[in-house]
Structure 1
Amino acid sequence: MENKAKTLREPARETPVRRSVDVLVVGGGPAGIMAAQAAAGEGLHVLLLENRSFLGGNLTIGLPILAFLNCKGEQVIKGLPQKFIDRLRERGAASEHKPCKNHMSLTIIDSEEAKSVALQTMADAGVEVLMYALCVDAIMDGNEIKGVIIESKAGREAIMAKVIIDCTGDADVAFRAGVECRKGDSDGGMQPPTLMFCMRGVETQKLRDAIVNHPGEYDMDVMPPEQFREGKFITVGLRGKIKQALADGLKIPVARTILITGLGDDEIWVNMSRVSGVDSTDPVSSTFGEIEARKQNKELVRYLKKYVPGFENARPEKTAPFLGIRESRVIVGKYILTSDDIVNCRRFDDAIAVAGYPVDIHHAKGADCTMEFCADSYDIPYRSLLPATVENLLVAGRCSSMSHEAMASTRVMSTCMALGEAAGRAARIALRGGMKPSGVNVAEVQKELLEKGAYLRPLAP
């Protein structure tokens, strides 16, 4: 018999407090790792909360890290993000920052080593890590957040904190704290996610030769063929090959072939599945996305083996542990970064990070994307990390205060890492001064960022 009840009333309960900490960072992805590391020190108790069984987030799904450099080849992401790459390089698990006309720069990393380095970084910084726990609610006192409610196999518990940093990517903490959040474009359309997968046994030199020697047939959108002669690379093109495959009856969800060399000579990661309409804040939608992306990936293997040189004898080796989400909730903060700020290389007095990645929008409908480039670099203001109304909360990563178009630039991992570092340092400075993050003197944050090796553009005289 159909159950017509829409809601039920749960009995009141006493919720045990698991921890009371100085700084709670929710989300152990690129932004969260940097935030927790930056917040640690000076005797502060910092806790990093993660719902998965590992740290690293999108660092672990086969993606390269884009845009440590800007279009001029200048490194604009430094500080703790660069130190993380240095630790990976010590293990032979990261490439150099290779300039790239389309993506500014490309840094290949080993996804498994990223998990290990993330955990070691937290241990070295004295950060407590709690995994297998999901943040499900915020504890509020007026407009101030005082803690969060978590759920795990241990049950429902509370974690209290003096400052909380939301690095969930989906603004989970901010949303539950009552912060105004937005999703997508003017119609609510969000950039579709991709489920990355890896192929081994690729004759990479054969692919290089095809692109370099036959650019008319193996076309790249904007990248010159010479870029593919040596070193790591990412392809964005082969539109003609996709059109040919579509004409032959294959179902290809994208207009361009996006392939990324791995650290192994025969290793290629494929960034081509595209499931429109997925909302990562809805489990039914996310489930559909995972299932549909796996179906698409099977067809993409057929496409690569038949139409792309070097893949004839390649085999799928592994699939990313979760969908790569490009867009979901973003907060409304004290300042909303816009695409105009990006393409006009805007400067801000309260800048806490610099970025140079283009406005790269994978359209909510259809198979293509558009890119709008910045001629140099742009600043991200501290105010974009601060919710407009809720206190004691910082929001770092792709869910910071950005417009739909601006977030299409700031969503890349290098920028998210820089925002995480800034949020962590601001949280510690706030506690040191006995004030809320919204009351911090940004000059102090900027001074510490520079002293610790981060990059900020000098203010004009």
Structure 2
Amino acid sequence: MSVPESFDLIVVGGGTAGAISAIAAAREGLSVAVIEKNSYLGGTMTGSGLTEMNAAGFQGTPLYHGLEKEIFDEMIAGGYAEYHFGVPMSSNKEVKIDRLRFDPEQTKLLLDKKAAESGVTLFYETMLDAAEEKEDCCIVHAHSLYESFPLTSQYLIDATGNADLIRKLGKETIKTDAQKQLVSTLMFRLSNVDQEPLNRFIHSGELSKVIQDGYDTGILKGKILAFTPIPNTKDVSLNVTRAKFDYEDARAASKGLMEARRQILPVHHFIRGRVPGMEHSYISSIANSIGIRESRRIYGQYTLTLDDLEQMIPFEDSVACGCYPMDIHDPVTNTVIWKVLPGVYHIPYRSLLPKGLHRTLVAGKCLSAEKEAFAAIRVMPIMMNVGESAGYAVAFAKREGRKLDELTAASLSSYLKQKYSR
């Protein structure tokens, strides 16, 4: 048997959080590998069809620094992203969000470039089979279509979005009952859209009536019809389909995906007749994956609560921040339940630390949080911020010769302050 290839850090999942974790750690001098089931980095950012990052700014000003700012600035300079501040949500015009709208296909190229430049080793189209955390190292077993192989590392990051690594390490996780899971959405992209009349219509106040009519006739399955114009194109992405299923049940998930796709043609026909600018549009792509708003979460050393966010608790071990409101897509009423939060809130390092593990962190949606808090922090810019800090935390632990649960709040905070002030 060949000797396993060894790294300082293995990141399982190269999605929105995992890609940033890997790049951040590699830039700090660590040897980093990423195990990614898809053939690209970015996850939701690049594969879900979602073309805007909600809460990328706060009160008209970009919120993030570090790698997030670097990436956003390069996207904007490349002509495929732009900020839009104070944009009303289609499901509730009173809720206004600062957003970064972007082209995900161009973003795939950017993330590949960043990973290559930082020296990250990528294992695309590769699945995790098993994992073990020992006293002095970690071992993972993975497979591609053609081979199975072991890898070793000093540290692990679970950025799978569903705590898959944590479960394979033998730790318990939290899953919402299937009947209470948030509604899922399959995005699709329309081309040959006349943007000017569409934008005028979106801001005219007439969209609410169209949504109500579509819902009353059964064409729309929820009271949402969110158009996102993609910068420097004649394209928009649509957030409109709705599907309810247990995301861990293969048969149910397959039926849910088919149901969401079945809704696309009737919706497109409806909006071509009701929404200005859409008359000559056509369906140019359907997202590679359906957007699952909810997934398994860990039992962490601290469980983030909605009250923490409302009180904007300044945790001593804060590693990330956000300002997106609580946004629950209710599976019973088919409505979106909003709770606007008062300002910029924080996420503590302890919510990234799984109980009972010492060399493993989580980054992304499987961190330790109550359902209501999770419904606020799950959006892409926040997960990017969590991911970057997770990568830095591993780099700091490596430098100090410590396990991840041995880092003190004060020392980690000081280290992160240096990283984000550069």
TM-score with structure 1 length normalisation?
0.84
Q: Which runs of 4+ in 1 moved over 4 A?
A: none
Aligned-pair distance for 1:250? Answer: 4.2
| SS of equivalent residue, structure 1 residue 120 | helix
- 1:31 is matched with 17
Q: Is structure 2 residue 225 aligned with structure 1 residue 257?
A: yes
- Residue among 337, 346, 354 paired with 1:379: 346
- 2:73 is matched with 86
Residue pair 2:80, 2:232 contacting (<8 A) in 1 also: no
Residue pair 1:145, 1:393 contacting (<8 A) in 2 also: no
- Residue among 49, 69, 77 paired with 2:35: 49
- 1:156 is matched with 148
The amino acid that maps onto 2:243 is V
Residue pair 1:138, 1:145 contacting (<8 A) in 2 also: no
Cα distance in 2 between the residues matched to 1:263 and 1:398: 27
**Structure 1 residues 422 and 212, CA, compared in 2 at 3 Å: closer, same or farther?**
closer
- 2:49 is matched with 62
The amino acid that maps onto 2:85 is K
Q: Is structure 2 residue 94 aligned with structure 1 residue 121?
A: no
Cα distance in 1 between the residues matched to 2:110 and 2:20: 12
Cα distance in 1 between the residues matched to 2:415 and 2:142: 32
Q: Is structure 2 residue 74 aligned with structure 1 residue 107?
A: no
**Structure 1 residues 316 and 374, CA, compared in 2 at 3 Å: closer, same or farther?**
same
Q: Is structure 2 residue 184 aligned with structure 1 residue 193?
A: yes
- 1:245 is matched with 214
| More displaced 10-residue stretch of structure 1: 250-259 or 327-336 | 250-259
- Identity, % of aligned pairs? 31
**Structure 1 residues 164 and 251, CA, compared in 2 at 3 Å: closer, same or farther?**
same
> Deviations for 1:130-181, whole angstroms, at most 9, x for unmatched residues?
1111012222448x87222212123332211110001111111012112221
**Structure 1 residues 94 and 208, CA, compared in 2 at 3 Å: closer, same or farther?**
closer
Residue pair 1:79, 1:453 contacting (<8 A) in 2 also: yes
Q: Is structure 2 residue 149 aligned with structure 1 residue 180?
A: no
The amino acid that maps onto 2:13 is G
**Structure 1 residues 105 and 17, CA, compared in 2 at 3 Å: closer, same or farther?**
farther
Q: Is structure 2 residue 336 aligned with structure 1 residue 343?
A: no
**Structure 1 residues 454 and 330, CA, compared in 2 at 3 Å: closer, same or farther?**
farther
Aligned-pair distance for 1:404? Answer: 1.0
**Structure 1 residues 123 and 444, CA, compared in 2 at 3 Å: closer, same or farther?**
farther
Q: Is structure 2 residue 224 aligned with structure 1 residue 270?
A: no
| More displaced 10-residue stretch of structure 1: 102-111 or 270-279 | 102-111
Residue pair 2:28, 2:392 contacting (<8 A) in 1 also: no
The amino acid that maps onto 1:49 is I
Cα distance in 1 between the residues matched to 2:87 and 2:421: 22
Q: Is structure 2 residue 148 aligned with structure 1 residue 169?
A: no
> Deviations for 1:162-220, whole angstroms, at most 9, x for unmatched residues?
100011111110121122211226x762112211111112222223333444x2x33xx
| More displaced 10-residue stretch of structure 1: 268-277 or 41-50 | 41-50
- 1:441 is matched with 408
**Structure 1 residues 330 and 188, CA, compared in 2 at 3 Å: closer, same or farther?**
farther
- Residue among 374, 385, 388 paired with 1:418: 385
- 2:360 is matched with 393
- 2:261 is matched with 294
Cα distance in 1 between the residues matched to 2:265 and 2:285: 12
Q: Tell me how large the CA RMSD over aligned residues is.
A: 2.1
Aligned-pair distance for 1:454? Answer: 6.1
**Structure 1 residues 454 and 251, CA, compared in 2 at 3 Å: closer, same or farther?**
farther
**Structure 1 residues 454 and 312, CA, compared in 2 at 3 Å: closer, same or farther?**
farther
> Deviations for 1:227-246, whole angstroms, at most 9, x for unmatched residues?
xxxxxxxxxxx2x3233234
Equivalent residues, number: 414
Residue pair 2:86, 2:97 contacting (<8 A) in 1 also: yes
Residue pair 2:317, 2:412 contacting (<8 A) in 1 also: no
Residue pair 2:49, 2:288 contacting (<8 A) in 1 also: no
> Deviations for 1:20-77, whole angstroms, at most 9, x for unmatched residues?
111001111110111011111454211111111111111113321111222x334432
The amino acid that maps onto 1:111 is P
The amino acid that maps onto 2:408 is N
Aligned-pair distance for 1:310? Answer: 2.1
**Structure 1 residues 41 and 203, CA, compared in 2 at 3 Å: closer, same or farther?**
closer
- 2:285 is matched with 318
The amino acid that maps onto 2:75 is L
TM-score with structure 2 length normalisation?
0.92
| SS of equivalent residue, structure 1 residue 108 | strand
Aligned-pair distance for 1:122? Answer: 0.8
Residue pair 2:245, 2:253 contacting (<8 A) in 1 also: no
- 1:223 is matched with none
| SS of equivalent residue, structure 1 residue 40 | helix
Residue pair 1:145, 1:177 contacting (<8 A) in 2 also: no
Cα distance in 1 between the residues matched to 2:111 and 2:412: 24
The amino acid that maps onto 1:193 is S
Aligned-pair distance for 1:87? Answer: 2.1
Residue pair 2:22, 2:120 contacting (<8 A) in 1 also: yes
Aligned-pair distance for 1:437? Answer: 0.6
**Structure 1 residues 429 and 165, CA, compared in 2 at 3 Å: closer, same or farther?**
same
**Structure 1 residues 210 and 109, CA, compared in 2 at 3 Å: closer, same or farther?**
closer
